[in-house]
Amino acid sequence: MSKDREEVRRAVLSCLEEGSTDRLRQCLKDLHPADIAEVLPDISLGQQVKVLRVMEPDRAAQVIFELDREKLPILMECLGLQRTADILSAMFTDDAADLLGDLPEDLRQKLLGLMEAHEARDVKELLTYGEETAGGIMTTEYVAIPQDITAGQAIEVLRENAPDAETVYYVYVVDDQNHLVGVLSLRELILAAPNMRIEDIMRRKVISVNVRTDQEEVARLVAKYDFLAVPVVSDAGELLGIVTVDDVLDVIEREATEDMMRMAATIDSEGEDPDARPFKRALRRLPWLVGLLFGELVAGHVIEGFSETLQHVTALAFFMTAIAGGTGNAATQSLAVVVRGIATGEVDPSQILKVIWKEAQVGLWVGLVCGLVVGSFAFVWQGSPSLGLVVGGALALSITVSTILGSFVPVIINRIGVDPALASGPFITTLMDVSSMFIYFTLATIILIR
Q: What is the pLDDT of residues 394-436, one digit of tens each?
A: 888 988 888 888 877 777 766 766 665 554 556 677 777 788 8
Q: What is the pLDDT of residues 291-345, one digit of tens each?
A: 656 665 666 666 666 666 666 667 777 788 788 777 877 877 777 777 767 666 6
Q: How far apart are CA 372 and CA 388, in angstroms?
A: 9
Categorize the per-residue pLDDT at 260 as very low, low, confident or very high, splitting at 50, 70 and 90.
low
Percent of the chain, pLDDT > 90?
15
Are 305 and 233 found together in one domain? no
Nearest Cα neighbor of 127 from 110, 160, 102, 161 is 102
pLDDT confidence of residue 283: 65
Q: What is the pLDDT of residues 23-49, one digit of tens each?
A: 888 888 888 888 888 888 888 888 888
Q: How far apart are CA 416 and CA 409, in angstroms?
A: 11
Which residue among 206, 235, 264 closes a domain?
A: 264
**271, part of any domain:** no
Are 367 and 302 found together in one domain? yes
Which residue among 264, 298, 313 closes a domain?
A: 264
**132, part of any domain:** no
Are 232 and 287 found together in one domain? no
- CA 157, 159, 164, 169 dihedral sign is positive
Categorize the per-residue pLDDT at 450 as very low, low, confident or very high, splitting at 50, 70 and 90.
low
pLDDT confidence of residue 271: 47
Are 169 and 235 found together in one domain? yes
- pLDDT of 174 > 90? The answer is yes
Are 334 and 361 found together in one domain? yes
CATH, residue 373: 1.10.357.20
Would you say 149 and 156 are in contact if contact means Cβ atoms under 8 Å apart?
no
Are 259 and 285 found together in one domain? no
Q: How far apart are CA 95 and CA 141, in angstroms?
A: 11
**273, part of any domain:** no
Which residue among 209, 241, 264 closes a domain?
A: 264
Are 17 and 92 found together in one domain? yes
**137, part of any domain:** no
Are 106 and 164 found together in one domain? no
**313, part of any domain:** yes
Are 226 and 284 found together in one domain? no
Count of the separate structural domains present in the chain: 3
- pLDDT of 120 > 60? The answer is yes
**272, part of any domain:** no
Average pLDDT over residues 253-273: 55
Q: Domain of 39?
A: 3-127
Are 321 and 191 found together in one domain? no
Would you say 165 and 140 are in contact if contact means Cβ atoms under 8 Å apart?
no
- CA 169, 174, 180, 183 dihedral sign is negative
CATH, residue 158: 3.10.580.10
**101, part of any domain:** yes
Average pLDDT over residues 74-92: 88
| CA 314 to centroid of chain Cα atoms | 47
Would you say 338 and 407 are in contact if contact means Cβ atoms under 8 Å apart?
yes
- pLDDT of 182 > 80? The answer is yes
